[in-house]
Amino acid sequence: MNRLFHNKHITGLLLVFLMMAGCKSDMDFLTEEPPTFYTVDNAFSTAAQVDQVLVSLYSHMRDIWAAPDGDDWIRVFRGKGTDMYDVASIRRGGTFSDYGTINTNTEAFYEIYTTWYYVISRANLAIYAADLPQISWSSAEEKAHVLAQARFFRAFAYRNLGELFGGVPIVTEVTTVPRYDYERASRTETYQFAIDELEAVLDDLPETTGAGGRLVRGVAQHNLCELYLALGTHLADEGGDAQAAFLKSISYANEVIDGGTYSLMNTRFGGRAEEQEAVIDIYNNGIFRESEKVDTLRLTPNHYWDLFQEGSVNYQDGNRECIWALQVDYDAFKAEDGKSVLTYSRSFGPVFRDAAKDHMVGTLEDVGGRGISSIMPTMYTRDIIYEGKWADDLRNSDIVFRRRFKGNVPSSPYYLKPVPWEVMYNGSGDATTDMNNRSLCYPVSCKIATDKYTGLDEGQNRSNLFRDDYIIRLPETILLRAEAKQRMGDKAGAAADINLLRERAECDYLVSAADVDDAFNLILDERARELVYEECRWNTLLRMGGTIAVDRIREYAYWPETKATLTFNYNLWPIPQTVIDTNKDVKLDQNPGWENR
């Protein structure tokens, strides 16, 4: 770990040097000068260079959420292996559900742990550089704003580390030499450090900004709501004063929910608000040729669908429930930034062409694009949460979570007719084949696919989306407040908050205090309905403590090896063994459940 901190710091400096070199003129390069030894103290000369460190952190946040390089550890961070997501049959070699292979040396744990320390190292670098005497700021407010963003990123990293790994070493200084003596803070101390950081910078973050993507006060308030909820949950397990923490969580949530800046989008809005119908063309055998177009699939848009259309994601687009969004730009993607893309259709999309090839083939819009199913929704996510009285819900409507697919193979008995799920799920007559098929065939969310792919006329295919995407959306704040209320014993208040979302989704069934169960199933189910493909499910499950995570994984995991191998309990991920081994001068204790694994 010490080597990690050092190397990440060096990498950051090299990027700064490159930025500095980019500012030189041709004559500068022709002028001979003796070699310069760059240090942290002389690498920065302008406020713009300090801001570039922040820009690199915004870019890193985008990469963590969007996984433009297809890194599997990011899919784990986003929820693979939880109750909500598993792997398809063609990806079982990359499972994160077989505990016969998951241990303290598992790469995903190391990658996720170290990526947050990379964020911390970059934030520490920006904080240090901002105070260098040679940096000239236009105003005290400008400097305070830069420091507020850097301290936010540091707090955000520790929030994630605390939720996933528990107490971790708190590093606040730029590290210039390797260290092997880091000590773990407690989980309480880790949460409290992040809380203190965010509360210190609240007034230095703007209420709104003119451009999407930059941090605003609501982002910090939302995270304070989550941090105090996490702290209270942990204190309750430890016998501490949890009620005060829950009250603070609710207070910060109130500022976001009721403060007047944010509100749920309850009516049609955005660039496609006037469209009364979305039309998907059907082509024979999925062949994209005008002569092969034989039918259409017609869907009815709604205001929930509007939330996930190009040009409608940012607060600046008129979307009042967007608190923080990562930025994707197609022109930048073409010109210089190959990571400015959402690879969602490819990563999350189904593979009907393998499992239902007698009825549906191709990679066009009618089958959800060019999916390879690197991660797939479990039966819980796609069907169980919408069973019975829960079915009537805009989030389960065909335009949002499409379940209707017409056959495009002329020889199929379902040619140009909806292919029944019973046929896709159980049509082979062989139990193993059917289970494999079910893992490849599933509804397509409007969050991962579209009826209008950008760039097709310029060589793009239907693997990628070029829209901005949410990191924080108001419904998550509402669900955090509902959970805090439930943990304080206010089940009626929790139900009322959940109903804010259910009413917006035009659900027939509204919940009552009687539905608010002590195992938090209602909260977790509603999060799945509202935040599928958005929330980081591991953070949620592990933050809740007890055996909630393992209980739900055992119940809802798709493949049988999970139940067979998850024979121990845990509520934190392990500290990566490499980190423990490298920190040779101070012993780092392993988290419970992972010792000797």
Q: Of the candidates 202, 235, 260, which is a domain's last residue?
A: 202
Same-domain check for residues 71 and 161:
yes
Say what the pLDDT of residue 262 is.
98
Residues 6+ apart with CB under 8 A from 320: 261, 262, 263, 264, 265, 474
Q: Are 349 and 373 in contact (CB under 8 A)?
A: yes
Q: Of the candidates 428, 447, 465, which is a domain's last residue?
A: 465
| pLDDT tens per residue across all 597 residues of the chain | 343 433 444 344 334 333 333 344 444 434 445 445 668 888 999 999 999 999 999 999 999 999 999 999 999 999 999 999 999 999 999 999 999 999 999 999 999 999 999 999 999 999 999 999 999 999 999 999 999 999 999 999 999 999 999 999 999 999 888 999 999 999 999 999 999 999 999 999 999 999 999 999 999 999 999 999 999 999 999 998 899 999 999 999 999 999 999 999 999 999 999 999 999 999 999 999 999 999 999 999 999 999 999 999 999 999 999 999 999 999 999 999 999 999 999 999 999 999 999 999 999 999 999 999 999 999 999 999 999 999 999 999 999 999 999 999 999 999 999 999 999 999 998 999 999 999 999 999 999 999 999 999 999 999 999 999 999 999 999 999 999 999 999 999 999 999 999 999 999 999 999 999 999 999 999 999 999 999 999 999 999 999 999 999 999 999 999 999 999 999 999 999 999 999 999 999 999 999 989
Say what the pLDDT of residue 378 is.
98
Q: Tell me the C-alpha distance between 174 and 155, whole Å.
A: 16
Note whether residue 455 is domain-resident: yes
Say what the pLDDT of residue 36 is.
56
Same-domain check for residues 195 and 291:
no
3-class DSSP string for 184-205 = CCCHHHHHHHHHHHHHHHHHHC
Same-domain check for residues 77 and 197:
yes
**And the tokens for 151?**
């301290």
Q: Of the candidates 400, 432, 465, which is a domain's last residue?
A: 465
pLDDT digits over 310-332, tens only? 999 999 999 999 999 999 999 99
Q: Please report, for the domain that includes residue 174, its CATH number.
A: 1.25.40.390
Same-domain check for residues 165 and 300:
no
Say what the pLDDT of residue 37 is.
63
Domain range for 10: 2-202
| CA-based nearest residue to 319, from 257, 258, 252, 266 | 266
Say what the pLDDT of residue 176 is.
85
> Distances in Å between the alpha carbon of 296 and those of 279, 283, 292, 300, 411?
6, 9, 12, 13, 18
Same-domain check for residues 64 and 160:
yes
Same-domain check for residues 16 and 134:
yes
Say what the pLDDT of residue 471 is.
98
DSSP assignment string, 298-340: EE---HHHHTTSTT-SSGGGT-TTEEEEE---HHHHHHT-TT-
Say what the pLDDT of residue 28 is.
47
Same-domain check for residues 153 and 302:
no
* Distance, first Cα to last Cα, the chain: 20
At 127, the amino acid letter reads I
Please count the structural domains in the chain: 2
Same-domain check for residues 289 and 158:
no
Note whether residue 109 is domain-resident: yes
> Distances in Å between the alpha carbon of 315 and those of 220, 307, 311, 401, 472?
16, 11, 10, 24, 11
pLDDT digits over 4-40, tens only? 433 444 344 334 333 333 344 444 434 445 445 668 8
Give bridge partners of residue 593 from the DSSP assignment. none
Same-domain check for residues 192 and 87:
yes
Same-domain check for residues 188 and 87:
yes
Note whether residue 337 is domain-resident: no
Same-domain check for residues 302 and 163:
no
Q: Tell me the C-alpha distance between 195 and 234, whole Å.
A: 14
Note whether residue 237 is domain-resident: no
Note whether residue 416 is domain-resident: yes
Say what the pLDDT of residue 40 is.
84
Same-domain check for residues 198 and 284:
no
Note whether residue 587 is domain-resident: no
| CA-based nearest residue to 265, from 500, 511, 497 | 500
What is the value of pTM for the model shown?
0.94
Note whether residue 214 is domain-resident: no
Note whether residue 114 is domain-resident: yes
